Amino acid sequence: MSRTIEFRDALREAMSDEMRDDPRVFLIGEEVAEYDGAYKVSRGMLDEFGPKRIIDAPISETGFAGLGIGAAMMGLRPIVEFMSWSFSLVAADQILNNAPKMLYMSGGQLQVPIVFRGNDGAGGQLGSTHSWCVESLYANVPGLKIVIPSDPYDAKGLLTAAIRDPDPVFCLESERMLSMTGEVPEEAYALPIGKAIVRREGADCTLVSFGRPVHFCMEAAEQLAKEGIECEVIDGRSIKPLDIETIVTSVRKTNCCVVVDQSWSFASVGSEVAAEVHRHCFDDLDNHVHRVHSDDVPAPYAHNLEAEMLPNPRKICEAVRSATYNA
């Protein structure tokens, strides 16, 4: 049975459901317990699960990320919350040099079933150092998985799958979507990691995106439909592994592709998607793959400048028109 709940509530349900079913699961992070979470994602969990499983950590991402990895190596299933993925940069040695490599370096003896989750990307006038989109940085590392939900249904299903997964999984959430509402089943469910979904059918151009920019793509597709251009919108759901098959199937139908990625353009997830589409669909494309990224500048603080820096429906429409009219 489904009901309408917020994105943050869907995340909490995923964590709570798994904690009820598996005593090895615990949550650690800054302000997750006594304060009910900086963004109220963990609201009420301390009352239900107690301070041994909902753990307030010091302001030291290096410390509590390493603690979580050690706990995972010893058989527990930690969920480590970064208040912002921008803050994960100080724990890069733990989350990139230790967690993803331990299974390989131990000859298969030590698994690290850990989830790192938190807010990714521009959160709304948080300034340059609090607005990192880390997917391009982190997707380059073998041994980990990355999911990026775009609505409450996916938030619960992908986080559930992440908690159950035997490998390190990064769940990239958007602070700007935490209050978004959507229909979410009451019962526990998991969505497959590495499987994209078609959000809108279309025959003229394929739009590929992940997370919050999926909604910009949907807005652009509505506008372009009034001009007679029907876009197919692909929500990747997972960045690593990447479901290139679903993307290729769509591009072979539309013969046109625009990739929308909130990361900066150089060496980005969008670059990889474009390269894969060119490799698999070279003879099917009527034009080269066009890309829409955040502008190559640090995130501004001013609201209007931040909105202009990010991918937005206007930029997407311009890219689609260029890709289709100049074919």
User: Which residues carry out catalysis?
Assistant: 61, 130
Q: Return the DSSP state at 129.
A: G
Strands (E), 193-294: 197-200, 205-209, 231-235, 238-240, 257-264, 290-294
Query: Quick one: which H or E segment has residue 27?
Result: strand 25-29
Whether residue 223 contacts residue 313, with contact meaning beta carbons closer than 8 Å, is answered with yes
Dist. CA 56–CA 35, nearest whole Å: 9
Query: Quick one: which H or E segment has residue 269?
Result: helix 269-281
Query: Quick one: which H or E segment has residue 157?
Result: helix 152-164
Amino acid identity for residue 176 in this structure: R
Phi, psi of 131 (to 5 degrees): -130, 25
Which of 288, 292, 291 shows the shortest CA–CA distance to 324? Answer: 288
Dist. CA 86–CA 153, nearest whole Å: 25
Dist. CA 272–CA 145, nearest whole Å: 16
Q: What pairing do the DSSP bridges indicate for beta strands 145-147 and 238-240?
A: antiparallel
Whether residue 169 contacts residue 299, with contact meaning beta carbons closer than 8 Å, is answered with no
Q: What pairing do the DSSP bridges indicate for beta strands 231-235 and 115-119?
A: unpaired
Dist. CA 35–CA 47, nearest whole Å: 11
